[in-house]
Amino acid sequence: MTSLPMRDPRTDQLLTPQNAAFIFIDIQPIQVASVASMDRRTLVENIVNVARTAMIFRAPVVLSTVNAASGKPSIPQLTEVLEGVTEYDRTQINAWEDREFVAAVKATGRRKLIFCALWTEVCLAFPVLDALRDGYECYAVVDAVGGTSLASHDAGLRRIEQAGAKPISWTSLMCEMQRDWGRKETAAEFAKVLFTVEGH
């Protein structure tokens, strides 16, 4: 079997390491502890796997916290994977109302944005709605975000989907980035993350 010629990764309609940026918002201890829409341990594992995806494929990452100066920064499981990535702290609940955050997103040069944020109904929904308004294509990693209740999480996802955001799972995201086992430069690390089961 022979693969078709690789499509231009900058203009591909699907997500590629060359056309997308990863956005992590408020993955902090207090927010994680207050999530009630899914198992928190699974949530953290999924968020970390999204971060690993970003690093394996060397895609741009924007990391933001809210009020970390008087509280807690991003969880260590995330910052360990995103070592060296600048953390932008802010006071605004909506990250898209922070000048440095928006400048960092624009500096990636990417129009496809992949979001992980806590909570779904607030810290995901608000910046996604604003980014959509500003012409970005937004993807919410639905199993790597969580809300204060299942109803709040679902309402947040419905709200952004109705506005044009696209839902995606972390496994779908990772496979979309890899696309071909013939891409040997990332295949081994891709498989390691995708097929590793905790405790085995």
The string of pLDDT tens digits covering residues 130-149 is 999 999 999 999 999 999 99
Side by side, the strands of the sheet bearing 166-168 are 87-90, 61-66, 20-25, 112-117, 137-141, 166-168
**Percent of the chain having pLDDT more than 70?**
96
CA 158, CA 125: separation in Å to the nearest integer?
10
pLDDT of residue 74: 93
pLDDT of residue 199: 42
User: Do the Cβ atoms of 136 and 115 come closer than 8 Å?
Assistant: no
Is the predicted pLDDT of residue 198 greater than 50, yes or no?
A: no
Fold of 20-191: Rossmann fold (3.40.50)
CA distances from 41 to 29, 85, 148, 167, 198 (A): 12, 23, 15, 21, 11
Global confidence as pTM: 0.93
Determine the residue type at 193: V
Is the predicted pLDDT of residue 153 greater than 50, yes or no?
A: yes
The model's pLDDT over 41-50, given as tens digits with 9 standing for 90+, comes to 999 999 999 9
Tokens of 34: 């207050």
User: Do the Cβ atoms of 70 and 28 come closer than 8 Å?
Assistant: no
**Percent of the chain having pLDDT more than 90?**
78
pLDDT of residue 197: 52
Domain boundaries defined on the chain: 20-191
Is the predicted pLDDT of residue 100 greater than 60, yes or no?
A: yes
Dihedral pair phi/psi, residue 141, rounded to 5°:
-80, 100
**Rounded mean pLDDT of 157-168?**
97
Strand partners, 21: 113
How big is the chain, counted in residues? 200
Which residues have C-beta within 8 Å of that of residue 84, sequence separation ≥ 6?
none
Mean pLDDT (the chain, rounded): 92
CA 163, CA 77: separation in Å to the nearest integer?
32
- Residue 200: pLDDT band with limits 50, 70, 90: very low
The model's pLDDT over 55-90, given as tens digits with 9 standing for 90+, comes to 999 999 999 999 887 778 999 999 999 999 999 999
The model's pLDDT over 23-40, given as tens digits with 9 standing for 90+, comes to 999 999 999 999 999 999
